[in-house]
Structure 1
Amino acid sequence: MKIPQPRSLMGQMLLAMAVALLLVQGLGSFLVYRAQREAYETGMLNVAAFRLIADTRGPRAFTRREKRAHGPIGNPPARAFPLEFSTRSPADEDERRDGRAEARLQDILADQNFPDSEIVVVHRSIGGDPIARTGALRVAAARRMDQEEVREMMNGHLLVVGVRPENGSDWLVARVRSPRAAHILLVPLILQTLLIYAVLVGAVALILRRITRPLAALTRRVERFAATPDAEGQLEPSGPEDMRRLILAHNAMEARIAAMLDEKDVMLGAIGHDLKTPLAALRVRIESVEDDTERARMAGTIEDIVRTLDDILSLARVGRPSDPRERTELSALVASVVEEYEDMGEPVELCDTQRTVLELRPTWLRRALRNLIGNALRYAQSARVSLLQENKRAVILIDDDGPGIPDDAIDDMMNAFTRGDPSRNTTTGGAGLGLALARAIADQHGGSLQLTNRRSATGAIEGLTARLEIPMQCSSESSAAS
C-alpha cells in the first residue's frame, strides 16, 4: 500500500526532518544501548572473575583436598549464589553459549594470571537454574516476599560461568545475578527522543510557518492575478528577507504587466476605431458602383474584414473582461442560441438539457456557443446541442456528423489563425479565430474546451464533439428536461 505523501512544502519538510531525525536518533540509541549492554556484560563478567579468583584463591581451590567434595563451597554474600564444583559442564547440550563473553572472560582471567582453562558462559533466568532457584527461594522466605515479587525474582537474568583448567577434570561454576535491568536506558532514550522531536519539530514548524505563510499568500495572489490581471490588492512584503524581495519583485512585475495590458487595450481600441471608420466610409462609397455583382462582392469583402477585426479585438480583450459575472440560467441561454439558428432555418437541434444556474458572462458565452455551432454547420451542415452536469461542472456538448479532425491536429486547431481548410475561402471558414476565441472564453470562466472525434466500432470517424466545461461556482439547481 502506498503511503500518502504531504503535498504542502511545510508538510514535506517536516516529514523529511522527522525521517532524518528518526534515523539519526535510532542509530544513536542503538549505539548507546549497545555500549550499555557491553558495559553491563563486562561488569557481570568482572564480578564472576572476582568470585572465581578471590573466593577460591584462584587455582589453589582445585588442589585443596578438603573441598574436593562436589557441590557448593564457600559463604557467598547475601545477594550472591555459592560457587559450585561439578563434574559436568554447566551448559546443557541444547543451550546456547555466549562465545563473545567467553573470549572476554578469558582475557580478564589471563590478566590476573589465572591458569589457562576451558571456559563456558551461558545466560539463564534465575528460575531456570536449580541452584540459583533454591538460593532465591531461601532469600524470598527470609524476606517474606509475596508471590509477585518471587515471580519477578525468578524471571531475573543470571550469568552462569564454568571454568575447568586444562589439567583438571572438575568444573568450578560461578553464578552472577544481574544487578539491574539490562534495558534500564531504554526509557530515558525514548523520552529523550520524544523531547528532541517535540523541540525540533516545533522550532522547524515555526520557521516554516513564517516562510510558507507569505508564500501561500503569494500563491493565492498569483492565481487571482492570472484570472483577473489587475494590479490592485498587491501583497505587503512579509516574512524573511528572501520572501520580502520575492514579493516586491512580483509586485513590480504585476504592475508592469497591468500597465502593458492597459496600453494594449488602448492601442486595440484605437486600431479598431481607426480601421472601422474608413471601412464604414468605404461601405458608403461602394453604393455608387453600378454593377450589382461587383458591389455585392465589395460589400462582402468589407464585412469579412469587419468580422475578422471584431474577432481579433475580442480575442485580445477576452483575458481582461470589463463586464461582471451575472447569475444566469445556462439552460435558457443555450436554448436561446439554438433558437437563433432555428429561426434562420439552420439544422441545429437542442437535445437533453438540465436546468443549471451559475454565475458567468452571458455575452461572451453566447459568442463561444455561436462559434462552436457555426463550425459544426460549416463542416458538417448540422449540429446537436446538449447540456448536462458532471462533477460540479456544467458541460455543453456540440455534436456533428462531419469528417472530424485528425487526432494529431486537434490541439493545433484551437490556436489562432488555424483552419481546417487551408484555403482562405470564406464559404468554408473565416480567419481561423473561432475555436481560439471559444477556448479563451472557456478559460475566462475557469473552464476548458475539448475536441474529440467520435468513432464507430470499426474505428471510422463518425463526427466531432466539442465539449465546453464551466465550473459551477455558485449553487445550482438541476432537473431533467428535454
Structure 2
Amino acid sequence: MLLSVALALLVAQAISAVLQYREAEQRREMIAANSLAFQLVTEPRFDFRRPAKHNPEKGKRGSWQRLRVERTAENPLQPGEVRETQREELLRTILLDQGINPAKLVVVTRHVSDDNYVMSQLDGREQTEWGEGRMLVAGLLRPGESEWTVARMAIFNREPNQLGALIGQTLLLYVVLVGGLALLLRRITRPLAALTRRVEHFAATREIDGQIEPTGPDDTRRLIMALNLMESRIAALLDEKDVMLGAIGHDLKTPLAALRVRIESVEDAGERAKMAASIEDLSRSLDDILSLARVGRPSDPLEKTDLSALLASVVEEYEDMGEPVELGATQRLAMALRATWLRRALRNLIGNALRYGERARVSLTRQGNEAVITIEDDGPGIPEGDIARLMEPFARGESSRNRETGGAGLGLTLARAIAEQHGGTISLRNRNAAVGKPAGLIAELRLPLD
C-alpha cells in the first residue's frame, strides 16, 4: 500500500510539474509577445539587461544598456535562420488587436553575438559576456512602408527555483502523507502480524494457550476476539473427538478380541480362517480410521531423525518377512519428524506397491530443499483420471475388499495426511513402459528439509 501511494503521489507530482511547466512557458511566451508588440508599436527606448550570473558583485542586478528599436531597410531575417511561425501568429494577433495589420512579420531566435546591431552598441568586455546569451528578434513591415521596425528582447535562463520548489513540495508531501500512512498501517498491521503468527501456531499445534489480546483498530480487535472464540470452540471439538474416538476404539476392539477367542471353538478350519480374516480386516480398518482422525493432532513431538536410516529400517521389516522390497540409492538426510507416523505412511505406500504391483523399489534423494522418497512398483498403474480420486478417503482402485486386494481404501489418504502433517506432499504418477522395464506406478513423498 505504501508503494502504491508513493507511486500515485509521484505520478500526480509529475503531472503537476508538466502542467506548471506548460503554464510557465505559455506565460513567458505571452510576456515576450506583448513586450515585442509594445516596442514595435511605440518604438520606445528599452532596457537590454546583462544576465545576473555575469554580475561580479553579489546582490546587484548588473549593468543596463539603453538600445533603441531599429529602423532598417534590410530584412531582419539573416541567412540560415528559421522563422518561428507560432510566435509570429501570437504577435500578429496582438498587433491586430492594436489596430496594426502587418504587411510582413518575422520572428526568430538569435544569439546575441550574431546580431550586428546589438554588438555595435557594446564594448569589448560586454560583447564577450553578452555574446553567450540569446534573444528574440521581431521585424515588422507596415503596409506602404519600405523600412522594417525591428525589436529585440533578451531571453534569460529559466529560473531554477521552480524545479527546486516542486522537489521540496514533493518531499514535504512524501514526509507528511507517506509517513503518516506508514504509522497508520503499522498500527493496523502489527496486530494482524501477531494474529497471523497465532493462527499458524494454532494450525500446527492446536494449542489453546497463548491467545493474543485484542489490540489495534476496532475491526481488528473484533477479528482477534472472534478468532480466539473460534479457537476455543475448535479445541473443545477436538477434545470431544478424542474422547469419542477413544470410546469407539475401546468399544469396538473389545468385542473383536472376544470374537478372536470364540472362533477357536469353530470346528471347521476353513470357516475359522475366513472368520479370522474378517476380524483382521475390521481391526485394520478400525486402526486406519482412528489414525486418520488423530493425525491432525499428534501428541508426540518432532525429533531429529536420520531419514535414510528410518527408511532402511522399514524396508528391512519387509525383507525379514520375505517380501520383494528393494532399497535403492539413498542419501543421508537428517530432519525433524515424527518417526512413528512417518513409518505408518511408508508402510502404507510400500504395502500398496506390493499389493497391486508385486514388488517395491524404494529410494531417497535430495532435490533442492526437499527430501524425496520414491516408491516404484511393476503393476498396471492407475488410469490418469482416477489418480486424484484415489487420494480421497474410502476410494479404491478395485471394487472388492478382500484380503487379496486390500482394505477400506484409507491407506493413501492416511499417508497424505501424515505427509501434510510434516509440511510435505504425496503425488502419484504412472511410469511409461520401456524396453526391459515394465510399466508401473511411482509414488513420491516430498518432505521439506527446513
Structure-2-length-normalised TM-score? 0.89
The yes-or-no answer on 1:268 pairing with 2:245 is yes
Q: Which residue of 2 aligns with 1:51?
A: 39
C-alpha distance 247-90 of structure 1, shift in aligned 2 (>3 A) = farther
Which structure 1 residue ranges, 5 or more long, are not aligned? 1-12, 58-76, 142-146, 474-482
Structure 2 counterpart of 1:89, from 75, 87, 101: 75
The higher relative CO (CA closer than 8 Å, separation ≥ 6) is in 1
What is the CA distance between 1:33 and its match in structure 2? 1.4
What is the CA distance between 1:312 and its match in structure 2? 0.2
The yes-or-no answer on 1:192 pairing with 2:169 is yes
Distance 2:228 2:163 in 1: 55
Which structure 2 residue ranges, 5 or more long, are not aligned? 46-62
Pairing 1:333-482 to 2, within 5 Å after superposition: 333-456=310-433, 462-473=439-450
* C-alpha contact 1:132 1:175 (8 A) present in aligned 2: no
Residues 175-196 of structure 1: CA distance to partner in whole angstroms, max 9, x if unpaired?
Answer: 1013552655223223322332
Residues 111-162 of structure 1: CA distance to partner in whole angstroms, max 9, x if unpaired?
Answer: 4444544322222333343434454655626xxxxx7xx3xx4343311111
Distance 1:401 1:132 in 2: 101
C-alpha distance 92-268 of structure 1, shift in aligned 2 (>3 A) = farther
What is the CA distance between 1:278 and its match in structure 2? 1.4
Structure-1-length-normalised TM-score? 0.84
* C-alpha contact 1:329 1:355 (8 A) present in aligned 2: yes
Pairing 1:15-414 to 2, within 5 Å after superposition: 15-55=3-43, 78-79=64-65, 81-92=67-78, 95-114=81-100, 116-135=102-121, 138=124, 140=126, 150=129, 153-179=130-156, 181=158, 184-414=161-391
Q: Which residue of 1 aligns with 2:51?
A: none
Q: Secondary structure at the match of 1:355?
A: coil
Residues 208-242 of structure 1: CA distance to partner in whole angstroms, max 9, x if unpaired?
Answer: 22222222222222222222222222222222222
* C-alpha contact 2:43 2:68 (8 A) present in aligned 1: no
Q: Which amino acid aligns with 1:164?
A: L
* C-alpha contact 2:277 2:403 (8 A) present in aligned 1: no
C-alpha distance 36-388 of structure 1, shift in aligned 2 (>3 A) = same
Percentage identity across paired residues of the two chains: 57
* C-alpha contact 1:393 1:469 (8 A) present in aligned 2: yes
Distance 1:48 1:183 in 2: 25
Residues 4-25 of structure 1: CA distance to partner in whole angstroms, max 9, x if unpaired?
Answer: xxxxxxxxx1222122222221
Greater Cα shift, 394-403 or 311-320: 394-403
Q: Which amino acid aligns with 2:20?
A: V
What is the CA distance between 1:311 and its match in structure 2? 0.2
Q: Secondary structure at the match of 2:404?
A: helix
What is the CA distance between 1:55 and its match in structure 2? 2.9
Distance 2:123 2:19 in 1: 37
Q: Which residue of 2 aligns with 1:8?
A: none
Distance 1:83 1:359 in 2: 94
Q: Which residue of 2 aligns with 1:70?
A: none
What is the CA distance between 1:411 and its match in structure 2? 1.3
Distance 1:469 1:101 in 2: 75
Distance 1:128 1:187 in 2: 33
Distance 2:186 2:438 in 1: 54
Q: Which amino acid aligns with 2:106?
A: V
Distance 1:53 1:301 in 2: 119
Distance 1:87 1:384 in 2: 107
What is the CA distance between 1:424 and its match in structure 2? 1.8
Q: Which amino acid aligns with 1:350?
A: L
Q: Which amino acid aligns with 1:23?
A: V
What is the CA distance between 1:430 and its match in structure 2? 0.7
C-alpha distance 467-33 of structure 1, shift in aligned 2 (>3 A) = same
Greater Cα shift, 278-287 or 97-106: 97-106
* C-alpha contact 1:81 1:175 (8 A) present in aligned 2: no
Q: Secondary structure at the match of 1:346?
A: coil
* C-alpha contact 1:116 1:166 (8 A) present in aligned 2: yes
Q: Secondary structure at the match of 1:185?
A: helix
Distance 1:21 1:136 in 2: 50
Q: Which residue of 2 aligns with 1:7?
A: none
What is the CA distance between 1:47 and its match in structure 2? 2.1
C-alpha distance 388-86 of structure 1, shift in aligned 2 (>3 A) = same
Distance 1:131 1:462 in 2: 99
C-alpha distance 107-283 of structure 1, shift in aligned 2 (>3 A) = same
Distance 1:461 1:120 in 2: 93
Residues 298-347 of structure 1: CA distance to partner in whole angstroms, max 9, x if unpaired?
Answer: 11111111110000000011010001111111111111110100000000
Greater Cα shift, 288-297 or 211-220: 211-220
What is the CA distance between 1:381 and its match in structure 2? 0.9
Q: Which amino acid aligns with 2:188?
A: I
C-alpha distance 353-185 of structure 1, shift in aligned 2 (>3 A) = same
The two structures, once aligned, show a CA RMSD in angstroms of 2.4
* C-alpha contact 1:402 1:462 (8 A) present in aligned 2: yes
Q: Secondary structure at the match of 2:388?
A: helix
Q: Secondary structure at the match of 1:353?
A: coil
